[in-house]
Amino acid sequence: MTVRRTSIFLAGWLILLIASSARAQGNIVWTPTAGPAGGFVNALALAPNAPGVMFAGADSGVYLTRDGGARWSFVSQGLPDDPKVNALVTLPDANVVLAGTNSGIYRTRDAGSTWTSVDPRLANQIIHALVSDPQNPNAIYAATAETVLRSDNAGETWNNAGADLKSARVWALAFAPDAATLYAATDAGIYASRDRGARWQLNSEGLPEGVRPQSIVVTARGLLAGTAQGIYRSRDAKTWSPVGGDLSSAFARPLAGDPTQPDRVLAVVPQGIAKTTDGGATWSLLANPLRELPIRSLLLSDKNVIYAGTARGVLKSSDEGALWQSLNTGFVSTTIHQLLALPGQTSLLFAATPFGLYRTPDRGANWFEARGLTDSYILSLATDPQMPTDVYAGTWSSALFLSRDGGANFTRLAENVGDKAPINSLIVLRSPEQAALIFAGTLGNGLYKSSDGGQKWSAQTNGLEGVMRVTTLVAVPPNLLYAATERGLYRLAWNQPGAAWESITANLPVDETRALIFDPRQPQTLFVGFVSNGVYRSDDGGATWTLVGRGAFPTRARLQALALNPAMPNVIYVGTTRGIYRSDDGGTTWTTANEGLPPNANVETLAVDPQSPENIFAGTNGNGVIQGIDRLQTNLPIGLLSAGAILILTLLALGLVGIIWRRRFSPVARARAAARMWNQWDAAITHALQTTGEAHAGNLGKLPRSQLASALKRYSEQYAGDALTWQTSPPLLKADNFALTQKFLSNWRAAWELVESEQAFASVTSQIVDQLCSLLGFTRVDERAYKGLVGYVVRAPALRLKIPPRFPIIFIPRHEASESDLEALRDLMGVLNMVSYFALIVDLRDAPPRDQRHSLINLAREAIHDFIVLDGRAIRRLLAARDHAHRLVEIILSQVDLTVVSPYVMSGPVPANMFFGRESELKTIVRTVRDTNFAIVGGRKIGKTSILARVLQLLQDAPEYHPFYLDCQAVHSYDDFFEAVDTMWRIALPARTPEAFRRMATELPAQYPARTIVLLFDEIDGLLAQDIAQGEQLFRIFRALAQELPIRFLFCGEKILNASLHDARLAFFNFCNLIPLSYLSPEEARRVVVDPMQEMGVLLQEQGDLAGQIISLAACHPNMVQYICQKLIERINHRRERLITRADVEAVGQSTEFAEYFAEIAWGNTTALERLITLLMLEQPAVTQGEIAEVFRTSGIQVPPDKLEEAFEGLALYSILRRDGPKYTFAAQGLLDVLRRGQDVYGLVVSYSQEIKETYGVRL
């Protein structure tokens, strides 16, 4: 290995020597490599009357095979910039195909050689599905994000055929066998058209609201629909019912029918591929259902052949899914996040993808997948400068893997390096006689550092405050480390203890930095690439910078990668979202270098072969790895070659002297030996801790004593969440919870042995539940047994997840679980009177069974309930934790759908665990309510009910108060009020009159001595208006009770409540202290965004800025913050990710639904006059009442001055406007933007003006 490293050094030296005489010639010619094969397949279509011909729609375009999938070719010339193909339909002519994209419909007449848009006017249409009329193949229908389109002439012209669909998103289309009826699966339900799209009828009876049908198949026995909440079946094409069983709540998409066997249907569900052969009456999973592989498309052919379009390309089964064959030769649609060239006699090239790490020893002719990567989403790669065959890989889930054999096999080196943030960049540095120094840049949590070879990590914030995204790390000799971030470029003297990061801002733009390179001959010469601002060059080590190649790159191109050719450092390559650019004069001038690249190739990474620098490799988004040849001519003097040869021989001789020392005695060699034994150490320490509670030399004697201390220390750092105590002298590791664990596990083992004895089993599980309650702070409230199952209902403390306050812990007395147990669990939930679907299920087995059919976790995933399984392995993790409740949350999140536990609330009061802000108001009320009455006023969904609910909870917990709460939203008369008091407070009134209420209330202090009675009334406006009309009979009594007795009142309301407090003629005048509610502060709103996301393990890309963008979008309105966050959770859950991107936030913020909801919430119960004033202010955001009155006068609108003043007060109450001296302005810019974008301003102004004229009259 030393000889190899020496040779590498000498080869590098010779390359530098020849660089001065080398000269680049011509342009780069690119050719696709053979991989890595695979990639997402969104659509599959067989060509009629052309055996073996099939088209596949991928994220990168269209692929064609003419031999049944044995070999594919890329046929996408002419597709749009975003070439993702969602749908395909073939016509009778096998050369004619239509493709549905995110930019409309495209057609080819030559089997994919060229594509053209069928109609440029459809460029803004997202096409989800294409289907042809079985009676008329030239009649084609397209399902779009807004409607259904129809063509009657094989795609020549298109018309809207979905006017009755009310702009619903259409996911799928299907014809009845006789072609008389066309069905559409939409977000709003199932529609049917019996006149080919002229008219549509909603046929969704039995479909719950919000199930969002996304697939539909017609069978011989009716219809099947795949929805977000399971598969539904209809026999009459009108009424629907769930298929039940294991698929009753599973997300089902897509569904595919067999054209030769109408009742044979396949469905993709979370468990894999399910099959029915009787039209949906019964279902079963395929023998090998591809459980762990994302599947986007299915195609059923004759002879029971199944094609599956997956994240790893096209798979084929000819035996009903028992065996699958990969058909990916030539199908290269993979995304490459990073390329790494490993020097050697034959260069190894690595490609990091979302579904594994691949390596090629022959420049892309053959690719081999690395083994041992239990987390296959690889983002970053690095090598050890002293041991180049040591390859490090960083993953999406923040794990770090290490290979000691040149990338063939990997082991996990560290888990959760960046606090769940994806590791996007890596670098390994070395100081003499020191362990490897590793830096890991993340997407969302900044930079992390390990000084001990990857065992212990710490966040790097000294000088990097606010940096969340580190895209590139580059070491520049002799001791500088550069970090490219979303905030620009930073630099660190990495070998100086205590050194801080320095921001490099001289002459540089404020933009995200994606790439940095340096000239190896002159390390002071640096090039940095900015996403939107091009390439900058520095010749003085970063002191000053100059923009090079101004205007060379297209405006829409985003710079993503830089590479410098070591054989000729003046030659620089730039990878962008629209291809590759090349400079041969140090960046002064640039030319495109796209010959042979796919159209608008999205290049994410570049690498130059260190052995043969004419070979350039480009890693793309959707087209795998592409190789380019950039021929370099060199003219070397004979004397230079001779000197080089002599130097080589001398250095080789010197290098051999150190071989033995380096291989056997150096610190690096010792560290390598320890790393090789880590798996043995890990297992041995775990066993010692679990059996004796301690790990030390006495019970680890079979392992090398010299490695003991470092192994124990590494274990304590790797399992930092466990309650462990580390002692340095003598080396010892102690499990703090050992006694607790042993006591618990003794009951656990007893329960396992007593499953046959119902009474004994109930007794021992009762003890286990008591231990769990003590551990987690639960309170046991009920227990029941059913069919041998034992359920204990507990009341749990509020976690920052949407988990019910009461749920059962259920024990199954079985050594093996079965589907019948699942049915019994569902029945027991009813016996326990559980209104929620959540439960903890205790599986007494120590680990999941090898036979997945008996896996309780897998069975539970197929149930409609949210069953969280605690097996022996999970229980041990729970017992070992420092924070047991936090560990339980981790276990729950690993098994449940995000939308199930998302705590964001869009309607009703927020729970206590989501109550942020309002601390000042809460303190004021709770501390002084003994002597003071309060009125909380504010607009719709501003938080009035939430603060009232929080006050109620606090008063219930305080022994000196006895509160009574009443929601008066539906109360508009005395009869309504007294009936509500009788029902909700369970207090019998002597009569249903205000005076009878007084008599009842005067008795309350005697019933609850030494307590202050607090009456809390929510949504009081309706009752207050009724009472004022009746002479204030009730509220006069309220005031008298507050003055005479220890009874206090707390009201919530809007305009009427606010006006009554200021009307000296009313009894309510000065009755209460006024607490107006407005928007949250930015800090409070940030907590609403960030805290629950962190609890759910959801990452905000560029977290600080993205949270700020959400807050700005919501204008700090509490309900709007919750709304946006919930919509973001729904988006990422749909694509099964836990990363929210800027594109997600922009998509939510730019949606019509958001604009309409924001306007509805902000305007709330405003009057036509108040809304008209708001609309008029869109053009003049700062006005006085007099200026608006003048606008009305010139428009012929007569509004009394008192009504105008009342309107402005109402707008201020609703926090729409803010008064600034005599002028009124918008309280939040966000509302201004939303009204402009989402409302028909002119139409509304005309409508409201007419309404006001009818109300107040017309000025003549």
Q: What is the pLDDT of residues 311-358, one digit of tens each?
A: 999 999 998 898 999 999 999 999 999 999 987 756 789 999 999 999
Q: Which stretches does DSSP call E strand in 153-202?
A: 159-160, 170-175, 182-186, 189-193, 201-202
* 1139 shares a domain with 1041: no
What are the tokens at 1218? Answer: 């803010």
For residue 775, the one-letter residue type is L
* 164 shares a domain with 295: yes
**Residue 955: inside a domain:** yes
**Is the model's pLDDT at 647 over the cut of 70?**
no
Rounded Cα distance between 363 and 349, Å, is: 7
Domain end marker among 326, 342, 368: 326
Q: Residue 815 in contact with residue 849, Cβ under 8 Å?
A: no
**Is the model's pLDDT at 635 over the cut of 50?**
no
* 1037 shares a domain with 1103: no
1231 or 389, greater pLDDT: 389
**Is the model's pLDDT at 799 over the cut of 80?**
no
**Is the model's pLDDT at 13 over the cut of 70?**
no
Most confident of 600-604, 625-629, 923-927: 625-629
Q: What is the pLDDT of residue 4?
A: 46
Confidence band, pLDDT 50/70/90 cuts, at residue 553: confident
**Region 484-496 average pLDDT:** 89
* Lowest mean pLDDT segment, chosen from 657-671, 1159-1173, 1182-1196: 657-671
**Domain of 702?**
682-731
The total number of structural domains that make up the chain: 6
Sign of CA dihedral 803, 805, 809, 810: negative
CATH number of residue 1181's parent domain: 1.10.10
**Residue 594: inside a domain:** no
* 1121 shares a domain with 1048: no
* Lowest mean pLDDT segment, chosen from 198-202, 734-738, 892-896, 996-1000: 892-896
Which tens digits make up the pLDDT trace of 214-273? 999 999 999 999 998 889 999 998 999 998 777 777 788 899 999 888 899 999 988 899
* 952 shares a domain with 981: yes
Which tens digits make up the pLDDT trace of 905-937? 776 665 555 555 677 788 788 888 988 999 999
* 872 shares a domain with 774: yes
Q: What is the pLDDT of residue 26?
A: 52
**Is the model's pLDDT at 360 over the cut of 90?**
yes
**Residue 444: inside a domain:** no
Confidence band, pLDDT 50/70/90 cuts, at residue 11: very low
Q: What is the pLDDT of residue 19?
A: 44
* 1235 shares a domain with 1134: no
**Residue 1089: inside a domain:** yes
**Residue 521: inside a domain:** no
* 1103 shares a domain with 1043: no
**Region 115-142 average pLDDT:** 90
Q: What is the pLDDT of residue 504?
A: 87
Rounded Cα distance between 402 and 381, Å, is: 10
CATH number of residue 67's parent domain: 2.130.10.10
Which tens digits make up the pLDDT trace of 1058-1078? 889 888 889 888 889 999 888
Rounded Cα distance between 1047 and 80, Å, is: 71
899 or 85, greater pLDDT: 85
Residue 120 in 3-state DSSP?
A: helix
**Region 686-708 average pLDDT:** 86
Q: What is the pLDDT of residue 235?
A: 92
**Residue 883: inside a domain:** yes
Rounded Cα distance between 1139 and 269, Å, is: 22
Element (H, E) at 18: helix 2-19
Query: Beta strand pairing status for 934-937 and 1073-1076?
Result: parallel
* 1120 shares a domain with 995: no
Domain end marker among 309, 326, 343: 326
**Region 379-387 average pLDDT:** 92
Residue 572 neighbours by CB distance under 10 Å: 26
CATH number of residue 1111's parent domain: 1.10.8
Domain end marker among 901, 932, 947: 901
Which tens digits make up the pLDDT trace of 1194-1235? 888 888 888 898 889 888 888 888 888 888 988 877 777 777
* 968 shares a domain with 838: no
Q: What is the pLDDT of residue 650?
A: 60
**Residue 407: inside a domain:** no
Query: Percent of the chain beyond pLDDT 70?
Result: 91
Largest CA distance in the chain: 118
For residue 225, the one-letter residue type is A
Which tens digits make up the pLDDT trace of 1081-1116? 888 888 888 888 877 878 887 655 788 888 888 888
| 149 closest CA partner among 160, 136, 138 | 160
* Lowest mean pLDDT segment, chosen from 490-499, 812-821, 1208-1217: 812-821
**Residue 820: inside a domain:** yes
Q: What is the pLDDT of residue 58?
A: 95
* Lowest mean pLDDT segment, chosen from 610-624, 940-954, 1063-1077, 1093-1107: 1093-1107
Q: What is the pLDDT of residue 800?
A: 58
Q: What is the pLDDT of residue 251?
A: 82
* 1072 shares a domain with 1085: no
* Lowest mean pLDDT segment, chosen from 4-13, 980-989, 1099-1108: 4-13
What are the tokens at 1140? Answer: 């929210």
Q: If you average pLDDT over every residue of the chain, what do you get?
A: 85
Q: Which stretches does DSSP call E strand in 48-178?
A: 54-58, 61-65, 72-74, 85-90, 97-101, 104-108, 116-117, 127-133, 136-144, 148-151, 159-160, 170-175
CATH number of residue 942's parent domain: 3.40.50.300
**Region 419-441 average pLDDT:** 88
Confidence band, pLDDT 50/70/90 cuts, at residue 669: low
Q: Residue 307 in contact with residue 298, Cβ under 8 Å?
A: yes
Strand partners, 905: none
| 320 closest CA partner among 380, 274, 260, 270 | 274
* 1118 shares a domain with 1183: no
Which tens digits make up the pLDDT trace of 733-784? 999 888 888 888 888 888 888 888 888 888 889 989 988 988 888 888 888 8
